[in-house]
Amino acid sequence: MQSYVPEYITLNLLLSTLLLSALASLIAGAVFAIFETRLASVPRQALWNAVRLLGFSFPIALVAYIAGYLSTMGRSSTIGNVLPAVLALVGGLNLYVFGSEHKYRVLISYCVVLFASMLLYGTQYGAYKRDTDQEFRLRELIKVEAKLKLIRKNLDLPDDFPAWILGTEPR
């Protein structure tokens, strides 16, 4: 069977989330720098914005990615459990930010977009991983069944397994 090493899975999750949140921070930092500074100082301001945004991006991306990944890896319904919580969070932030005069509207909007995109990425990756692991498990079971049939043939036993092994009665 396929062996799982929790340390590598955790490291992969953290590094991929860090990479994606850093990429989102660089893009958003460049966009914010274009709108708020002169053209000559855009690269330096973009880098400074990206560094500041990474502090917000990484925790939000990590929570969203883990929520999406775990909701699809488990057999529970994503629509019934995760989606209402996400919509309540987005609706609450919408009321908070746009209901009052607030100077962090752009930052909170960026965080909501990042949260939604990382949640989507986490669900897609979790669904892909679940399907590939299931396919791998079925292939391994087929190999085990072939080995058992070969052993039964070598021992001159009947091809069919006895009913007491399978837990069913013969027909």
Write the DSSP assignment of the chain as a string of letters: -----HHHHHHHHHHHHHHHHHHHHHHHHHHHHHHHS-GGGHHHHHHHHHHHHHHHHHHHHHHHHHHHHHHHHSSS-HHHHHHHHHHHHHHHHHHHHHHS--TTHHHHHHHHHHHHHHHHHHHHHHHHHHHHHHHHHHHHHHHHHHHHHHHHHHTT--SSPPHHHHT----
End-to-end CA distance of the chain: 32
Give yes or no for a contact between 147 and 49, defined as CB atoms under 8 angstroms apart: no
Instruction: Provide mean pLDDT across the span 158-162.
Output: 73
Please report, rounded to a whole number, the percentage of residues in the chain having pLDDT higher than 70.
Answer: 82
171 Cβ contact list (under 8 Å, min separation 6): none
What ranges do the domains of the chain cover? 6-126
Whether 1 has a pLDDT exceeding 50, the answer reads: no
Instruction: Provide mean pLDDT across the span 59-64.
Output: 87
The string of pLDDT tens digits covering residues 77-96 is 666 777 788 888 888 877 77
What is the pTM for the complete model shown?
0.70
With cut-offs at 50, 70 and 90, classify the pLDDT of residue 164.
Answer: low
Whether 111 has a pLDDT exceeding 60, the answer reads: yes
* 10 phi, psi to nearest 5 deg: -65, -45
Whether 123 has a pLDDT exceeding 60, the answer reads: yes
| CA 23 – CA 67 distance, rounded (Å) | 20
